[in-house]
Amino acid sequence: MTAPTHRIGEPAWDAWGDPARAHHLTPDQRALIAQVLGVPATTAAPRAAETELRVARSALPPAARAALAAAVGPAHVNTNPAARLRRAGGKSTPDLLRRRAGDVARAPDAVVSPADHDQVAAVLAACAEHGVAVVPFGGGTSVVGGVEPLRGGFAAAITLDLRRLDRLVALDPVARTATLQAGLRTPEAEEVLADFGMTLGHRPQSYEYATIGGYAATRSAGQDSAGYGRFDSMVLALRAATPRGTLDLGRAPASAAGPDLRQLLLGSEGVFGVITEVTLRVRPLPAAEHEEAWGLPDFAAGTEALRALAQGGLRPTLVRLSDPAETFVNAVLAGAPAPQGCLAVVRCEGDAAYVAAARDAAAAALRAVGGAPLGAEPVAHWREGRYSAPYLRDALLDAGVLAETLETAATWSRLPGLRRAVTAALTTALGGGGGPEPLVLCHISHIYPEGASLYFTVATAAGDDPLERWRAAKRAAGDAITAHGGTITHHHAVGTDHRPWLGAEVGDLGVEVLRAVKRTLDPAGVLNPGKLIPASAPGTGRGGGAGSGTESGAEEGRR
């Protein structure tokens, strides 16, 4: 069991990541915001200081506290307000707006930190016995309400902090698999793997903070998904603690031994159990690499090139295509001249033969649609800032700009119509009132033979009630996504925020299946109430009984 030597610390409570890395807008940027979004350059959004906050007293009943202390040791049941505040929710724009306004009503009643799988199991048993909701927590980077400490009708909710599960359990250099504990942040995982010359290659924007267990529980996708695959596709085996016992799933690289039950835990967002250990595909650190930016005449041409790459035999490791608006805004933010059309970045890494072949395939596909190479510099620039966009978002919130993102995926055939529909929904919902139109930027960053993701970035004047403004826009966008054949989420997961659309995506009967699995593994309904599984329709009489803790969590939800 190897532990990393460099541990990433706790992120800020009211912003993304490391407070020391906070972004500060330049006067030029402020002027541009005034011009484009109509937000005066002197605007300063209110932001509560930690000393002003009143985190409610812990409601954890003494008997439950004693049982939890017995499970993990008294030192690891923390009711300190500062610790609870830092687990009061995730990192979506609404999350930050609420906390910055001093709304910390949803802080958990305790932060419980088990050391290993057995302690996780003991915590779940204690919570099931004492009727305490359990919210699994890794990096806390959810942008869909996934780590919101909802009580779900129970008297108290604890955050189950998995950060002490931070070891490399096993590495198989022949099969190229690594068994990692759930609480490792990505840089920590990469550090222990690099000692063996290996890498995971999973690099989402939340790379610096998100954890192995969180990736598995939310079906994350990294920016290098074209080459390394989505996180769920890297999972050979997993171990999960549930109130009914332990699940150890996956032993072979492929199997026909019934339905693939690993897939019920992947994406289960802590409502069925707590993933404590994941055995993942790893690869040798790349021996060669090549990266290049390309200018494309328009988004349709760029999309066509990406489709050709996805459907060909030689995919790059990373490919990313910005629409003209995003291309323009990124250039302005970088202080660079804005190119015509769209920017694509391509990166290939691996052994030399693969890199050469994939580079040539990418160049051929991009040239075929009128693309022109722009050199490596724009890719290096993008790469240096690849994890920093949330810091810019936070600075925009300070400056009175409502900035947020959302994402979907669909088949190549549906992609253009889906993009138009979502853009129109956001523009209509956030426009009007005589002010400037909102900025709606879009890029493709994950490609598959059958289709691709669409990632939207929105910026608009915050106005008097940015939470309500975003709620309306998000609702309109979600409805447009569902109506136009997209999935409600390609990689952000469901949490509280996407629950209203899950029934449309998997059907009422699919939701019933999820409830049946929930009742089997978590009969008391204490696991992450109010997340993922839609609340029962009133009066249907379904989903009650043992699962009612979960269902009533909906009343605490935001929608």
Which of 20, 75, 509, 540 touches its own copies (CB under 8 A)? 509
Q: For its own copies, which is the closer residue by CB, 74 or 507?
A: 507
Q: Does 288 bind its own copies (CB under 8 A)?
A: no
Q: For residues 549 and 203, what is the distance between their CA atoms, to the nearest angstrom? A: 35
Q: For residues 111 and 297, what is the distance between their CA atoms, to the nearest angstrom? A: 52
Residues 135/149, Cβ–Cβ less than 8 Å: yes
Closest approach, Cβ 63 to its own copies, in A, equals 27
Considering only residues 414 to 473 of the shown chain, the ones binding its own copies according to CB under 8 A are 414, 446, 448-453
Does the annotation list 140 as a binding residue?
A: yes
Task: Tell me which residue of 108, 6, 113 sits closest to 57, measured CA to CA.
Answer: 108
Strand extents, DSSP E, 184-249: 198-199, 235-242, 245-249
Considering only residues 144 to 183 of the shown chain, the ones binding its own copies according to CB under 8 A are 172, 174-177
Q: Total number of residues binding its own copies (CB under 8 A)?
A: 95
Handedness of CA 480, 556, 540, 547 (dihedral sign): positive
The backbone torsions φ and ψ at residue 83, rounded to the nearest 5 degrees and listed phi first, read: -65, -40
Q: Using the rule CB under 8 A, give the single segment among 64-72, 75-83, 304-312, 461-469 that binds its own copies.
A: 304-312
Residues 294/366, Cβ–Cβ less than 8 Å: yes
Closest approach, Cβ 456 to its own copies, in A, equals 15
Q: Does 506 bind its own copies (CB under 8 A)?
A: yes
Q: Does 74 bind its own copies (CB under 8 A)?
A: no
Does the annotation list 142 as a binding residue?
A: yes
Which of 9, 258, 432, 541 touches its own copies (CB under 8 A)? 258
Q: Does 252 bind its own copies (CB under 8 A)?
A: yes
At 277 the three-state DSSP class reads strand
Q: Which long-range contacts (CB under 8 A, 24 or more apart) does 394-398 make?
A: 394/15, 394/16, 394/22, 394/23, 394/96, 395/22, 395/23, 395/24, 395/25, 396/25, 396/33, 396/459, 397/45, 397/93, 397/96, 397/97, 397/100, 397/462, 398/25, 398/44, 398/45, 398/47
528: left (phi over 0), alpha (psi -120 to 50) or beta: left
Q: Using the rule CB under 8 A, give the single segment among 32-40, 153-161, 436-444, 485-493 that binds its own copies.
A: 485-493
Q: Does 552 bind its own copies (CB under 8 A)?
A: no
Closest approach, Cβ 221 to its own copies, in A, equals 7
455 is catalytic: yes
Q: For its own copies, which is the closer residue by CB, 108 or 145?
A: 145
Q: Does 516 bind its own copies (CB under 8 A)?
A: yes
Q: For its own copies, which is the closer residue by CB, 393 or 446?
A: 446
Site string for its own copies, 176-215 (x = CB under 8 A): xx--------------------------------------
Does the annotation list 393 as a binding residue?
A: yes
Distances (CA, A) of 103 to 50, 98, 343, 395, 425: 11, 5, 40, 20, 29
Q: For residues 144 and 142, what is the distance between their CA atoms, to the nearest angstrom? A: 6
Closest approach, Cβ 393 to its own copies, in A, equals 20
Structural tokens at position 203:
């690099």
Does the annotation list 431 as a binding residue?
A: no
Q: For residues 162 and 111, what is the distance between their CA atoms, to the nearest angstrom? A: 10
Q: For its own copies, which is the closer residue by CB, 119 or 142?
A: 142
Residues 47/100, Cβ–Cβ less than 8 Å: yes
Structural tokens at position 550:
């979960």
Closest approach, Cβ 506 to its own copies, in A, equals 6
Which of 260, 377, 465, 468 touches its own copies (CB under 8 A)? 260
Binding-site residues from annotation for FAD? 136-142, 269-275
Active centre residues (catalytic): 455
Binding-site residues from annotation? 136-142, 269-275, 393
Binding-site residues from annotation for substrate? 393
